[in-house]
Structure 1
Amino acid sequence: MREPLVIAYVGDEARGLDIVSSLDQRLQRPARAVTIRLNRLRSVLADDRIDCVFCGPALTDGDIQQAVFDIIDTRDVPIFELTGDVAAVPDGVEIHHLDPTAPPQVNIQTLLGEVLDAETEQELTRGPYCYLAVDAEDTIIDWDPDLTDWTGWTPAEAVGASLWNVFPDWENSDLATECEQLREVGGETDLRVFHNETRKWLHTQVLSHGNGGLELYLLDVTEFQNAGGRIEGTGARFEETLDRITDAFFALDTEERFVFLNSQAEFLLDVDAKDVTGIRFWDAFPAAVSTEFYQEFNRAIETQEPTSFEEFYRPLDRWLEVNAYPSSEGLSVFLRDITEQVTLQENLEQLHDVTRELVVAESDREIAEQTVTATEEILDFPMVAVWRYEKSTDTLDPLAWSDKIDDRADEMEPLGRDSEFIWEVYESGEMRNMGFIPATTATSHHPGKVTSELLVCAGEYGVLGAYSDERDAFEETDIRLFKILSSTVESAFSRAERERQLARQNERLNDFASIVSHDLRNPLNVASSHLELARLSEDSTENLDKIEQSLFRMESLIEDILARARGDEEIEKEQLSLTQSAQQAWQNVDTETATLKLDGDAHFTADQDRIQQLFENLFATPSNMPGMMMA
């Protein structure tokens, strides 16, 4: 490593560190500043490694004279001062008065020119950056010779000229705005600017100093053009920064040629950056001409407005999310592979269609069969089974399964509680995802030997099982979709069960309506018959009494039916006579030519109304024959 340039700095410590920082950017070897108080200068100068003395503006009157005396008494090194004081300088002492109003870089350039002789001046380097400085009026006061190579301006021509004469296309740019702001608030900034004449992209660091002066450090980053992000340090580090971006990124110039691709873009587009740099995007990807890439890129460049879109690029078999940012120098493009998200959305839409099919399925088995088909076709699962809980046997019964399962399982049988894993899923409601099944045991539920299994509960109705011969076959997206499908299946089973319950209720209602109509028809027929007789008879009193009894009987039946429908009628039991109950019921039934003959009697405990209704229904049946007897 080269020996450092060592400066004995007398004065404000912060200003000394500022000088060292500026020197580090101008030399190939390190610079060191030894910041000292004036009373220690003599002892420090005893070190032969000191190259010069620099007196800062914080010194008081007479301090420069004292520094001169110390140098005379010790060793011959040049002295530089920013105090503005006058000192008596004997022959042999080299002193340089610097302008305290100039930017530090200007004075540093003077210092280096005096300390380093012509032979060692080759040490001066602009490193990765080129340097220039301007005063408060934007007049150039220092100019890096390396700038001559690409601007054509020599230091003699540039110094004293206006910055905007040398760089006319920057006068109304973001750079000019930033310079004005730094003059007002101080500090430093960096930004990317474009030099139109040379077609160079330059990362520019701007530092403010006292009295409105500015220092500009310029780095050529043309090959690393980006979308305006902050560039730290050298171009190599900038490239590393772009490679750390999670999105794929590439930049095109105004001719739509690649100027940069990060590693993610190389991977996503399946290209090598060195093979496509300088190649037009449409030549590298001709299939993109007939897609939104062509339309949106051209629209962004024409309107200078950013654009965002999604496009399926068939040669890569990928869906891409594209965000493109235009500028007068080209187009910066960020890409993201969204194939998984798009596929997920398509699967969700297809599962939504499956929901409509499941809700009209007529049986549990049909629901299960449609579930297996949907899982195979939409989720691309190789083997699927639907297990339905059967309460009567306390088992999980297989309702439907993939054809591939038949190739490896002799028979799909109901699973008892000894198949603990599938039962644990059913009872806990927690899914089970096994990426590797080492062996098949007597209590295993899966169909034959498989490597991966995914079990998802379908509520109280059963379990959905998916199986594969691959390890770790089911990813997070698969699990999410399978859960969604299981919720749909649960709803379908629930609907089917409600419909079965409703069908049973309707059947009972039909039976009830039949009984009610039969019960009411008996007194109605009696009333109708006696009404006809009353019309033909001169004395209709007896017939009208019969009609009245029938109407009372109908009212009693209706009240009884309503009470039973509400569930608020209690059965009242009492001692009844079989003969009396039969005779009373016979009077309420139109038996035409039939007769009732009673032989003997019996007593029993029952509800009088229901016994009477029983006999009425019995007497009104078509099988009644004349001469009917009851023993």
Structure 2
Amino acid sequence: MQPSTSISGTIRVLHVDDDPDLADLVATYLEREDERLRVETVTTVADGVARLDESDIDCVVSDYDMPGRNGLEFLEAVRADRPDLPFILFTGKGSEEIASDAISAGVSDYLQKGTGTEQYTLLANRVINAVERARAEQAEQRHLRAIETAQEGISILDSDGEFIYVNEAYAALYGYDRAELLGEHWSLLYPDRDTEEIREAILPSVRADGFWRGETTGLRADGTTFVEDHRLATTDHGELVCTVLDTTDHRRHRQAIADLHSTARAFIQAETAEEVAEIAVGAVRDILDMPANGFHRYDEADDSLVPVAWTDRTEELIGEPPTFEPGEGIAWNAFASGEPLVYDDIATNDDRYNPDTPIRSQLALPLDDRGVHLMGSPEPAAFDETEVSLAKTVAAHATAALERVEREQELARQNERLATFTDIVSHDLRNPLNVATGRLELARADCDCPHLAAVDRALTRTETLLDDLHAFARAGTATLDPEPVDLTTLSRACWGHVETGRATLVTDAQQVITADRSRVQELLENLFGNAVEHGGDGVTITVGDLEDGFYVADDGPGIADANKDAVFDHGYSTTEDGTGFGLSIVREIADVHGWDLRVTDSDAGGARFEVRDVELSGP
């Protein structure tokens, strides 16, 4: 079996355009832009539909105006059978009406053709981003299916305390159908005498600590009650995740779940796949009391499952775990099928790897396309439903951790490449820029040519672009050096670094935040510069506190509602001389800190940039 392609593998693109020469040109440029892209071209919608039936395609790029069926009709045909397949409309015939119709039909992205080769770089980026989003959503759906099959009751409530998700186990625990609970308030499931305690004591504790565990009394649909083991945790978006077990039948399950929750932080903090494997093996051994278990990772280069971590008991029973080649053993069967395999006795199972193995009970849990986690016992029928369910929970945590580690490692590599590229470009362009600037001064001394002023402006803009490009690349790197930062002190220091003219700074902030000082300085200086640029040198800029962060506001002309979603985009600028990097640098700095950045209107009618989810060091 070949594993499903990750974003680091090949991305198969189908390009449909009735101009074969243009289609071939686009394919050539896309494949040059990124070695992962492989482009197939056809010239009609009918051929495009046929090619989708014949090939595994990761993204469709289509023209709009074509003979026969147009791009929107093609999109509708694709969405009928493949609602999640990324589809980008790449057309020279653009209008607001076409864009609106494309969005309504479910287009992933919309891009107008240009005249320069830069459009192919932009198109390549749009394709990669669309495929990455689609694959991330597919991974989330797999995790959701794992939650659906969990034996413990799991629900999610919005900030108003109403159910936005419940799994079957949760609804069954209270005697309801799932549809009956969605949109209902949590108080439906608790006796009136207990709801006040939940509101006044439990929920404030969850908001303060992010987590709460204890026993509560559940109220079933038929009016009966039961004591439930209850866990509550908050999400970054203000939602509440509830895990509930009936303590009557799940004492052991309850304790194991609690212990597994304690390992969730370890999974989150793991930095390598080897660390993830060690955590998973230890959790299954110590929490689930399965002393013989091992973790195999898929090696794409050798097309094999390689042992990464295993317990001492495993080595006592079978020696050092083997490497599994395609088709070998129960381990490969689980990996290839993507389905958990549970055997009460493998003594007569022809698929067992070693006919002389002392293992009788076998549990093999696939980790998507990343490997397999094996549990065994010399006793037959050693694993009950509860243990299998808990082992699946560990596997789900491990799979999510492996995905996160891969994303972070790839992001680090991308950031390193970006920084290296930017340094090279900046260095190699500085010398000729300095030469051109010097020659310009000599030319001005020798003659009075009216064109020299335009040359001066162009060179100045080039230097500004180089500075902003270097700042943007640095802002997106993942390396931070957090320390306590006094916002008022830093704001006043930043004010001296920006050309502010007659502008005024008001520093109401009392917050001391934990952040990288140099990055916060870049963020503030860019926000100050943006306010002065758009509000004039008489603008008043205020830095103030938020409950979970800070804001920078001004009394300038503000930002139109239609533009608020676009102001952080790379290249967006409303001024002729603007580079469009300033606010995108602000966004990158916020993202790398894990902050939530948003723009709204200030009390004075200007712009207000709010930075939330900031770690506070103290008053």
TM-score range normalised by the length of the shorter chain: 0.3 to 0.5
Which structure carries more relative contact order (alpha carbon 8 Å, separation 6+)? 2
TM-score, normalising length: structure 1: 0.32
Structure number with greater Rg is 1
